[in-house]
Amino acid sequence: MATQIKAAPKVGMVSLGCPKALVDSERILTKLRADGYGLSPDYAGADVVLVNTCGFLDSAKEESLEAIGEAIAENGRVIVTGCMGNEADVIRARFPDVLAITGAHQYEAVVSAVHEAAPPTRGAFVDLVPEGGLKLTPRHYSYLKISEGCNHSCAFCIIPSLRGKLASRRIDAVLREAEKLVAAGTKELLVISQDTSAYGVDTRHEPRAWQGRQVRAHMTDLARELGSLRTSEGIAPWVRLHYVYPYPHVDDVIPLMAEGYLTPYLDIPFQHAAPNVLKAMKRPANEAKVLERIRNWRSIAPDIAIRSSFVVGFPGETDADFQYLLDWLDEAQLDRVGAFRFEPVEGAQANDLPNPVPEEVKEERFQRIMEKTAAISAAKLAAKVGRNIPVIIDEIGDADEDGSVGATGRSQADAPEIDGHVYLRDVAPSLKAGDIVQVDIEDADEHDLFGVVA
């Protein structure tokens, strides 16, 4: 008699917020897939819907609440997790029919809630989980989370209250995950955390055995090991560092970029440059030394791209403070910049600071900083016209009326989702997502490059 296998319940997922939340979603889905659940791409086909929320800003909370409301309206069976899970009373007040609510990176609690809402179908007839786990990103790049939480107490941030203090993963576990991802087709590893530079501080950089030797849980050691991995074709993956605080030992990873272990890219959240504002933010305030270090980094790795984010309109920010920031940006010449208008967050210390900046002044400063940084970006990209650079392919376009095909990729100066693109013309039919090719740059605008495969 043929074995009858009961149809597996299906789970839908709405993932909001930062890449760290995306990694949480991938881990949850990987565990559920291993438990026999199917995945639904829409509300109609899901037995239960997970909404992984963001709770960093009030605007993000409202977006999360809207997503929960949509899931309830379209499906009705909803489990909430993520950063806003810490505000269960707020969620329940608006949506009393939510099945369960859990906080950030509470993987076991989420899975248990799904088991209760839609009991799994057990069976060992099919390998349900691909090598490297389930991913919500394209096959050729992967986020690699190395720690949870943060030990900082920045005045504008509530991340420590949402995700707790720094908790670093064992370095052998991180490297094992990276090795599996690369073996499964990952060409680019994006290292993420709340504070990548602090990796291993909480464990006193405890060493672990890895491939016959001891390796410390330290950003520099981790970067070197990740850069030593190889794809099945024998190619080193791009390794990109995100959320790097400019501690002194960051200087030690720059030579690794020059030596090819790391992609020459640093994502450093400077947040501001004016000493008065940095002090109010409870951030490191030695901005002059930072400029000196940036010059030194560029002397070691000339192609290094530095991305950062800045807050304008922080309480007490004066016209002079903002001009100081603009002048600092002129000197720093950062490659990629994101700017945000200050927004009060419930529970943040900054809410109690005096001298709030009027909304119209925030907007005017936001427009000025975006204009300034766009001009810097345009000049830096224009300097790349005529160069030959490596580009990773993200997407192949459809053929136009002449039969020619274009493609979209990224240079080593471009992280997915947040930075620019390289648009290619007349690519070969054999080109595919994940290929890394040499490109002759023909043109540029404020944020993107244009070229042809060499």
Could you list the residues known to form a binding site for [4Fe-4S] cluster, using ranges: 18, 54, 83, 150, 154, 157
3-state secondary structure the chain: CCCCCCCCCEEEEEECCCHHHHHHHHHHHHHHHHCCCEECCCCCCCCEEEEEECCCCHHHHHHHHHHHHHHHHHCCCEEEEEHHHHHHHHHHHHCCCCCEECCCCCHHHHHHHHHHHCCCCCCCCCCCCCCCCCCCCCCCEEEEECEECCCCCCCCCCHHHHHCCCEECCHHHHHHHHHHHHHCCCCEEEEECCCHHHCCHHHCCCCEEECCEEECCCHHHHHHHHHCCCCCCCCCCEEEECCCCCCHHHHHHHHHHHCCCCCCEEECCCECCCHHHHHHHCCCCCHHHHHHHHHHHHHHCCCCEEEEEEEECCCCCCHHHHHHHHHHHHHHCCCEEEEEECCCCCCCHHHHCCCCCCHHHHHHHHHHHHHHHHHHHHHHHHCCCCCEEEEEEEEECCCCCCCCCCEEEEECCCCCCCCCCEEECCCCCCCCCCCEEEEEEEEECCCCEEEEEC
Binding residues: 18, 54, 83, 150, 154, 157
